[in-house]
Amino acid sequence: MIGMVSRKNTLRNLAALGAPTLYWNYFRGGKPVTKPDTTVVSFSFDCDLPEDYEKLPALLDSLKTYGVKGTFGIIGKWLEREPRIHQRMVDEGHEIMNHTYSHPDNEVFHPDEHFNEIPFERQREQIVKFHECAENILDVSPVGFRTPHFGDLHTPKVYTVLEDLGYLYSTSVIMTKARSHGRPYYPSKADYLREGTDNYRILEMPAAACPIHYFPAFDSVHCIRQKEPAHPGTEFSRIFAKSVDLGKRYRVPLVYDFGPQDVGGNADFDRILQSVTADKNVRTMNGAELARFAKEALQ
Task: Map out the domains of the chain as residue ranges.
Answer: 38-298
pLDDT at 233 over 80: yes
Q: Contact at 8 Å (CB) between 19 and 214?
A: yes
* pTM for this prediction: 0.95
pLDDT at 293 over 50: yes
What's the mean pLDDT in 61-76? 98
Handedness of CA 52, 54, 57, 63 (dihedral sign): negative
Largest CA distance in the chain: 52
Within 8 A by CB and 6+ apart from 296, the residues are none
pLDDT at 3 over 60: no
Residue 15's pLDDT is what?
A: 83
Report how far residue 175's alpha carbon sits from residue 22's, in angstroms, rounded to the nearest whole number: 12
Confidence of residue 1 (pLDDT cuts 50, 70, 90): very low
Chain-centroid distance of CA 192 in Å reads 17
**Could you give the count of Cα atoms lying within 13 Å of 197 in the half-sphere of its Cβ?**
0
What's the mean pLDDT in 65-84? 98
Report how far residue 110's alpha carbon sits from residue 1's, in angstroms, rounded to the nearest whole number: 30
Give 95's strand partners. Answer: 71
Give Cα separations from 260 to 44, 60, 71, 139, 257 (angstroms). 10, 9, 12, 23, 10
Report how far residue 27's alpha carbon sits from residue 249's, in angstroms, rounded to the nearest whole number: 10
Q: Which CATH number fits domain 38-298: 3.40.30.10, 3.20.20.370, 3.40.605.10, 3.10.20.740?
A: 3.20.20.370
Among the residue ranges 4-18, 38-52, 95-109, the one predicted with the least confidence is: 4-18
List, for residues 239-255, the tens digit of each pLDDT value: 999 999 999 999 999 99
Among the residue ranges 100-109, 123-132, 197-206, 233-242, the one predicted with the least confidence is: 100-109
The whole-chain average pLDDT of the chain stands at 94
Confidence of residue 93 (pLDDT cuts 50, 70, 90): very high
pLDDT at 9 over 80: no
Give Cα separations from 288 to 254, 285, 295 (angstroms). 13, 8, 11
What's the mean pLDDT in 14-40? 92
